[in-house]
Structure formats: C-alpha cells, structure tokens
C-alpha cells in the first residue's frame, strides 16, 4: 500500500464527509440566521425559539438529501471494497 494512496483516500473521505453533512449544516445555518434576524427586528430574545425551526429544517434536509447522501457513501465504499484485493498484495 502506497503512502500516496492512503493520503488520497483520507482526503477523499474528508471531502465525502463535508459533502454529506453540508445540506443539513447549511439548512440549519440559514434557518438560524433568519430566526436571528427576526429576533433582532422584533426584539424578541427568546433562546428556545431557534431550536424547533432548526430541528425541523435539518430533518427536512435529511429527508430530501438522504438518497443522494446514501449514493455518495455507497459509491465510496464500493471503490474501497473493490481495491481491497489489490491493496492486500
């Protein structure tokens, strides 16, 4: 097993993690920003007001993007499993 292959595999795994988590993180960020702006405009400073919309947004993003996320992870795992026999030598 070559060190360059290990480094590229690690880099690809980190990029996959970022890509898979991005839809949920971005939706939580956008909803949190919108709620913060709403709180600043209306001067309602309730800390618990942000939690429920963020949870709903993240859950919806998970439901919407789950097939794409699973395909990305399965493709990555299939490439790793197909290279196991080559790397064992």
Q: Give tens-digit pLDDT for 12-21.
A: 999 999 999 9
Stretches in the chain below the pLDDT threshold 70: 89
Residue 16 within any structural domain of the chain? yes
What was the pLDDT predicted at 87?
A: 76
Residue 67 within any structural domain of the chain? yes
Residue span of the structural domain in which 65 resides = 3-82
Per-residue b/e over 39-64, b at no fewer than 16 CB within 10 Å? eeeeeeeeeeebeeebeebbeebeee
Residue 52 within any structural domain of the chain? yes
Please count the structural domains in the chain. Answer: 1
Extract the tokens encoding 10.
Answer: 């690690």
């Amino acid at each position: 097993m070559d060190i360059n292959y290990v480094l590229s595999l690690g880099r690809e795994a980190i990029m996959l993690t970022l890509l898979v988590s991005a839809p949920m993180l971005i939706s939580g960020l956008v909803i949190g920003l919108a709620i913060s702006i709403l709180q600043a405009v209306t001067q309602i400073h309730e800390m618990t007001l942000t939690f429920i919309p963020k949870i709903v947004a993240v859950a919806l993003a998970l439901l919407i993007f789950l097939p794409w996320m699973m395909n990305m992870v399965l493709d990555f795992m299939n490439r790793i499993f197909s290279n196991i026999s080559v790397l064992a030598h």
